[in-house]
Structure 1
């Protein structure tokens, strides 16, 4: 049996037995989109595949640096960090390309923790789409830098003078991908093996930066693939003593890393976005979808730009949008309509960066679009020309800091309708914590500017 054939608990037991495995790998994604997991003996796996298993709920109670939130109610010292139940998802079975023969299964939190589980949040948004008669198709697109450095050397260097795997600005370079063809070959093969296939892979404009467009999938599968692509790209790089980063903006001298999402709605096998007679071949549903995305973007940005560093990227002139806006084939706007055939008409959600949790970013993008359809929100006229040079209404301005964005999420009635009170309160608190942690730090910029002279 092949991993892609696994659909049920019985299938999962069968493939594990066929391979003669003693252990498999299981994991659940936390609020930051980091996969937290373990190796699990097959006896435990076979028992858990039906009824679930315990997983310490600290996974929902700490940040990306394993520091404990002091401002959340679901878990903490006040609850003594008990186990929460997770369910193993047989249909997520993948062979681990970097561990030939071994298998990986994703999990979801259930019961009370399900309201906070990022994958669960997205699943509920997609269920909402299904109740409206829509299927969601998504293609994630990631930019990431790769350095000829290790996890140790970057720290020893203080994150300065890092050596990229290739120098200079050289987008779409055949020279670079030919010289580094072994790396490209390994990355492409790994993604095929792990069911997160790449449609296109090329150098972007920057030293050592690549862009990978993942193949279009159904919503939940696309998010699984995106989350695992980020993780295993890092794994593959580190196994050859390199380091890949999906940080939104690692240097002021280079463009930031986008994590764009191309999405469309379908109904009964046909595009719900395409109308041959509509302006720009856009259906009324597509216009309303974009209208909702545009209106709610300032409120939900904290789910898409989820880290302090995310806001370093959102500056004019570096291919990242700065206001909630839309245009047709316009890469200076937040939402880029790509009119094409019935199969290819879609919207590119360009505000998202590579550092976002793909489950939550997609939940925000799709959820706001569905809200637009439900409320028949018209997006107005598309932006023509350079959006950075236009005057935009105050309501389209985006939060400038993570703390501001967290406050907008918390105050959003639409967010509470789409994602639930428990998630909104917990998530906003985690982002407030993240900014508080940042404010404890003294940056090199401050030391250089103030220590001697002020």
Structure 2
């Protein structure tokens, strides 16, 4: 705690937000005066926090009492002094501290998304490997809208006009929101978030932010903090930022593309490349692992009903697990690079995924492929968007199908644990049941007076 306490005193912090990530990626925790935080060096939260749904409800009673103590006991939240972020938008000097969670015996809580990622990273550490990741986050800016039954619209830019048509890679269209993005960059720099390029994507007021490559846990923390930072910057400018996978009908969805490679910790060399610069067996095994296990881990990358709207036929998202060089129609793209920078871009995860779980799932699938020596399909040439020719390339196209595949996955239960797999699936099934109870605008529009 010495490093953390020194930071708090140097920055003259008066309040500390003690947070953990729940299954959805919502920051849950407590706000404490800095003196109390230093004295207690952590916090306690009820176990049930990790089985809350996106609506704040809980899983069914059978699963709840199977996974949790009947007394609803607290777990211990221990601050990670390497995950401390000053919050520049707060009036009071405030820091956000991400915590790890443990039971009363000091064992990591299996239901914690951050612990899941740390468990996967330990597998790599035992092999002497270190994953390197670089997420790309897509999102929409939308006008404020207090009625969830009304469709979302792009906000007015500096010109006083909303975007018309699609403005992919347009500098002028991105500049419409310069004041917002200037705050975003300034706040990210103040927090040590290593964001890089800003790109205008295909949809109206749809943008993408690229992160610099680095340590997987650090990058997951940064994405977790970035989402909140961007939302705060948007609210300051009277608009909203959304990471929904498919917020606007008939417009492109938003993804969290994850670039990934693996280095040997002793040599610092990329294990995807052989000494002569050609592709290694590990590289091919990693791709094969993604092809085989993404269908079983898909809810960790596409966690809601809305996530699967992004995968509908005819959309820009890749509905396949083909791989190919510089081929954006493949779910697994191999960007052009030097041999030592060889990497794989997983284009399947949505921007709505919990960053800890999406990165963990992708790294785990690749790890299994390498250690089991799996072989990928031949690389795709040309358009691969409609490819569903092989079992290894078939993605579940509904949340129900995906949850069943994960629930029955031996790999998920072996590597992620029975408690986490059961708990995560139960949370998403509870959300699905909640969704089914809602009558949609489509049903009112087309069925009200016709059936």
Question: C-alpha distance in 2, partners of 1:116/1:82?
Answer: 14
Residue in structure 1 matching 2:390, options 368, 389, 393: 393
Specify which of 175, 186, 196 is matched with residue 178 of structure 1. Answer: 175
Identify which of 434, 439, 442 aligns with 2:436: 439
* Deviation string, structure 1 residues 366-392 (Cα, Å, up to 9, x no partner): 001000011100102111111134451
User: Matches of 2:137 and 2:64 in 1, distance apart?
Assistant: 34
What is the aligned partner in structure 2 of residue 61 from structure 1?
51
The equivalences for 1:7-46 within 5 A come to 9-46=1-38
Q: Secondary structure at the match of 1:274?
A: coil
User: What secondary structure sits across from 1:115 in the alignment?
Assistant: coil
After superposition, the Cα gap between the structure-2 partners of 1:385 and 1:420, relative to the gap in structure 1 and judged at 3 Å, is same
Instruction: String of CA shifts for 1:9-49, please: whole Å, max 9, x gaps.
Output: 01112222334433212110000011113321223211332
- Aligned in 2, Cα 1:391/1:163: closer, same or farther, shift over 3 Å? closer
Question: What runs of 5+ residues in structure 1 fail to find an aligned partner?
Answer: 1-8
2:159 counterpart residue number: none
* Bigger mean CA offset, 289-298 vs 16-25: 16-25
Partner of 2:304: 307
Q: Does 1:155 align with 2:137?
A: no
Q: Does residue 90 of structure 2 align to residue 90 of structure 1?
A: no
Instruction: Give 1:229 deviation, angstroms.
Output: 0.9
Equivalent residue in structure 1 for 2:131, among 108, 129, 136 = 136
Deviation, 1:115, is 0.5
Indicate which of 218, 222, 232 corresponds to 2:219: 222
The residue number in structure 1 matching 2:122 is 127
Contact 1:326-1:335 at 8 Å conserved across structures: yes
Superimposed CA distance per residue, residues 138-190 of structure 1 (whole angstroms, 9 cap, x where no aligned partner)? 111011000232xxxx1237332534344131111121233432222111121
Which stretch shows the higher mean deviation, 161-170 or 433-442? 161-170
Of 90, 111, 114, the match for 1:99: 90
- The residue aligned with 1:427 is 424
Note the alpha carbon deviations across 1:58-97, whole angstroms, 9 max, x for none.
3212111111222523689983533221111111112112
> How many pairs were matched up?
438
Q: Tell me if structure 1 keeps the 8 A contact 2:388–2:394.
A: no
Shift of 1:234: 0.8
**Stretch deviating more after TM superposition (179-188 or 198-207):** 179-188
Distance 1:79 1:157, change over 3 A: closer
SS in 1 for 2:344: strand
Does 360-369 or 95-104 show the bigger shift? 95-104
CA distance in 2 between counterparts of 1:419 and 1:197 reads: 29
CA RMSD of aligned residues (A): 2.0
Contact 2:303-2:428 within 8 A present in 1 as well: yes
Give TM-score scaled by structure 1 length: 0.92
Q: Could you tell me whether the CA contact under 8 Å between 2:58 and 2:430 is conserved in 1?
A: no
Alpha-carbon distance in structure 1 between the residues aligned to 2:124 and 2:358: 16
1:342 Cα offset (Å) = 3.6
Q: 1:248·1:258 contact (CA, 8 Å) conserved in 2?
A: yes
Gaps of 5+ in 2: 157-161
Q: Is the 8 Å Cα contact of residues 249 and 312 (structure 1) preserved in structure 2? A: yes
1:316 Cα deviation from its structure 2 partner: 3.1
